[in-house]
Amino acid sequence: MTQVVEPDIQRTSAPSETVPHWIGGRRVAGTSGRQGPVYNPATGELARHVDFASIDEVNEAVAAAKAAFPGWRATSLSKRTDIMFRIRNLVDAHRKDIAGFLTAEHGKVPSDALGEVARGIENLEFATGIPNLLKGGFSEQVSTGIDVYQIRQPLGVAAGITPFNFPAMVPMWMFANAIACGNTFILKPSEKDPSASIFIAELLREAGVPDGVFNVIQGDKVAVDRILEHPDIAAVSFVGSTPIARYIYETGTRHGKRVQALGGAKNHMVVLPDADIDMAADAAVSAAYGSSGERCMAISVVLAVGGVADPLVDAITSRLPKINVGPGTDEHAQMGPLVTREHRDKVASYLDRGRDQGASVIVDGREHDSYRSAGFFLGPSLIDRVTPDMDSYCNEIFGPVLEVVRVQTYDEAVRLVNDNQYGNGTAIFTRDGGAARQYQFDVNVGMVGINVPIPVPVAYYSFGGWKSSLFGDLHMYGPEGIQFYTRAKVVTARWPDPGTSQVDLGFPRTR
């Protein structure tokens, strides 16, 4: 039996010493005896611990969500809309508090942390349109006296498993639509930055979300595996690395669940010879080093076509010393630390491998002052003359390392993009509308930017990559999110006219 920590706790923007679960509308301390460390990446200090759930604790959260489902799905659309508006307004009012958690545990600088919250709010705003989004279709008189209509109904208990790099936005990608559609929800946040999830849970309760409709289970593989196997969970949304996404998809579907699992990325930015070099360099630097490169839509490879390579590399190089690297507590910082020391060191190891394999390391982030601090910093790094056989090109680095591959033609660039195992995002920089349109037609990638380096769709479109960047049939949030969290029911109805009633054993056909 789990122990309730504070039966009626006041919401606080200060992280707890030990980050608990949230079950049935309350903070619940873990009882498994297992915990994980949570660091302040800017100082390198161990900040707190997070409880890791046992199978029993996951079962308890699922039981709470299952018990809440009948009442929540029966709650009128107007009431659910009202609650979604309240959630939106509370998150809006607490943007800075949420951003504070992201800075404390992820290391995001203020502009990046606030940007994450803003993009999450877009998803809450989309979900306030739920009465319109759930409208079905109606066909009158499909046969004499018979009408057919389709309705969409919630699935039951849905779960979301989220990555470290968006501790607030990615949960909002999932739960906004899930609960607006009438499902109940269990969030399993990243164990690296878990505190924002509890603060958000408290906002949801304040907004009027009934107990059990939204739950948070902290933990690791034990919790995830129980979610994947639990017979009362109908659907699982996942965002994280590709190997785990593949595992989540295969295990979840084997247990009869609807699964959407978004994976990793290697996003190429093609720069054609006619592009504006300064604009392309500004975009490459913003998209490669923003959030320290820890974005699934970060640009990690520039494909410089023809003679554009030398001036473009010079323009990018000249911008790097001007990037203000520092902790999120410095309001002027533009780039913060990486999430853990292990991750930082793994990212840096690609600089050595690139050099060993024949690439030119133009800027090595380990020479940046911040690298010598106790925080998990790595300065912006640039590798030129990368070739597709090199380790740094073949793997997702997920850090502030931008690679330049020099190609001779547009066709060569497209071939590289399409041969890559990932297909999350890509961008083309050119002044030639015809070339851009051809690129949009040619590439096997889910999200394309034309002179836009980070083409994350707004909330009323859907987000998703192709190839090893997404396992499942439906993209996340937006209209496909509504489809994911509901299933269709088609009703064929006749209101009897006793005068025309007769026995007819033939197969029903239209008349």
Q: Which residues contact ligand NAD (rule: CB under 6 A)?
A: 161-166, 188, 190-191, 220-221, 224, 239-241, 244, 262-265, 296, 396, 398, 424, 465, 469
**Of the two residues 280 and 482, which places its CB atom closer to ligand NAD in the complex?**
482
The distance of closest approach from Cβ of residue 395 to ligand NAD in the complex, given in angstroms and rounded to an integer, is 10
Run of H or E residues at 174: helix 169-180
Residue 9: DSSP 8-state:
P
Number of H helices, E strands in the chain: 16, 24
Residue 265 vs 281, nearer CB to ligand NAD: 265
Kindly tell me which of 89 and 421 has the beta carbon lying closer to ligand NAD: 421
Q: Least CB distance from residue 446 to ligand NAD, whole Å?
A: 9
In the complex, what is the shortest distance from the CB of residue 258 to ligand NAD, in angstroms, rounded to a whole number?
18
Give 402-445 as a 3 state SS string: EEEEEECCHHHHHHHHHHCCEECEEEEECCCHHHHHHHHHHCCC
In the complex, the smallest distance separating the C-beta of residue 132 from ligand NAD, rounded to whole angstroms, is: 26
CB 207, CB 86: distance < 8 Å: yes
- Letter string b/e over residues 113-151, b meaning 16 or more CB atoms within 10 A of that residue's CB: bbbbbebbbbbbbbbbebeebbeeeeeeeeeeebeeeee
Task: Find the residue with minimal CB distance to ligand NAD.
Answer: 240
Which is closer to ligand NAD, CB of 385 or CB of 467? 467
* Calpha distance 207→201 (Å, rounded): 10
Nearest distance, CB of residue 218 and ligand NAD, angstroms: 9
| Residue 461: CB minimum distance to ligand NAD, A | 14
Contact 487, 153 (CB under 8 A): yes
Are 470 and 262 in contact by the 8 Å Cβ rule? The answer is yes
Tell me the closest approach of the beta carbon of residue 476 to ligand NAD, in angstroms.
7
* Burial readout 206-238 (b: 16 or more C-beta within 10 A, e: otherwise): ebebbebbbbbbbbeebbbbbbbebeebbbbbb
Using CA of residue 106, residue 111, residue 117, residue 123, what is the dihedral sign? negative
Single-letter amino acid, residue 132: N
Closer residue to ligand NAD, CB minimum distance, 164 or 377: 164
Cα first-last separation, the chain: 61
Output the CA angle 326-328-332, nearest 5 degrees.
Answer: 65
Name the strand (E) or helix (H) holding 47. strand 45-51
Distance, CA of 286 to CA of 471 (rounded, Å): 29
431 phi/psi in degrees, rounded to 5: -105, 5
- Residue 409 CB, nearest approach to ligand NAD (Å): 29
Facing residues of 490 across strands? 150
C-beta closer to ligand NAD: residue 69 or 166: 166
- Our CB check for ligand NAD shows the closer of 218 and 483 to be 218
Helix (H, G, I), strand (E, B) or coil at 102: helix
As measured in angstroms, the least distance from the Cβ of 427 to ligand NAD is 16
Secondary structure (H, E, C), 252-305: HHHCCCEEEEECCCCEEEEECCCCCHHHHHHHHHHHHHHHHHCCCCCEEEEEEE
CB of 423 to ligand NAD, least distance (A): 10
Give the residue numbers annotated as catalytic, written as ranges: 296
DSSP state of 320: G
For CA atoms 127, 237, 61, 156, the dihedral sign is positive
Q: Which residue has the tokens 């109606």?
A: 138
